[in-house]
Amino acid sequence: MENQVEYEKLRLDVLRNLIADRDIDCKNTKDEMIKYLKLYDAGKYIRETTYEKDGVGFIVGIDLKNKTHLVEMGKLVEKKEARSLNQFYCDRVHYWSSQKLT
């Protein structure tokens, strides 16, 4: 059995460091940080989709666990309204799109 970290017993500054190390976005309350750390450890944490303005469109970064956004982006690629940039960084696959996802 794996060692389970007892996040409830850790100090707030230690929790903040763990959140920063894992690149997790959440509120700085102890309960919220513990919740997201446990999701991350279970492999269920999904990062938010990012958008960067790029001329007339957006560079969209999608977490591989976010199935709904990946399917939606696939439909945009089929319609030629988006294209893959063939880049994976910051735990996201990146596309160029003329619109934001819903």
Q: Once rounded to an integer, what is the mean pLDDT over residues 71-87?
A: 96
Q: Once rounded to an integer, what is the mean pLDDT over residues 40-47?
A: 92
Domain residue ranges in the chain: 7-41, 50-97
Mean pLDDT of all residues belonging to the chain = 92
pLDDT band at 90 (very low <50, low <70, confident <90, very high): confident
> How confident is the model at residue 1, as a pLDDT?
41
Radius of gyration (C-alpha) of the chain in whole angstroms:
17
Helix (H) or strand (E) holding 12: helix 12-21
pTM of the model: 0.79
